[in-house]
Amino acid sequence: MKAKLDRGDHFVLIDVREPHEYQICNLKGYLIPVGDLPKRVNELDSSREIVAHCKMGGRSAKAVNFLRRTGFTKVYNLTGGILAWADRIDPKMPKY
């Protein structure tokens, strides 16, 4: 994802964590908690590339699987989640 950002690629970043987690730290993604995704899937454009993330990658993997089952083809999981981002990309990012 860092390379995509550096290149200026256009994609939608969705954060599938809970609002209180988003308040601790975030990557400026569109917040849709994974439990809300089935009723909010219509907010996403299936023609756009989508990257989903959560804290460690588990919830976003579920979100990606759900989106793929509903017809999204360009959807990816940020492996390791925001904790891996903090470890590898932005060590100043708060961890929880």
Is residue 95 one of the residues assigned to a domain? no
Q: What are phi and psi of 92, to 5 degrees?
A: -85, -10
Is residue 94 one of the residues assigned to a domain? no
Count up the domains in the chain and report the number. Answer: 1
Q: Which tens digits make up the pLDDT trace of 59-83?
A: 999 999 999 999 999 999 999 999 9
CATH code (residue 38): 3.40.250.10
Is residue 80 one of the residues assigned to a domain? yes
For residue 92, how many other CB atoms are within 10 A of its CB?
6
Domain that holds residue 70: 2-88
Is residue 93 one of the residues assigned to a domain? no
Q: Which tens digits make up the pLDDT trace of 30-61?
A: 999 999 999 999 999 999 999 999 999 999 99
Q: Active-site residues: which are they?
A: 54
Q: Is the dihedral of CA 25, 29, 34, 37 positive or negative?
A: positive
Contact 44, 12 (CB under 8 A): yes
Is the pTM higher than 0.85?
Answer: yes
Predicted local distance difference test score (pLDDT) of residue 17: 98
Predicted local distance difference test score (pLDDT) of residue 90: 95
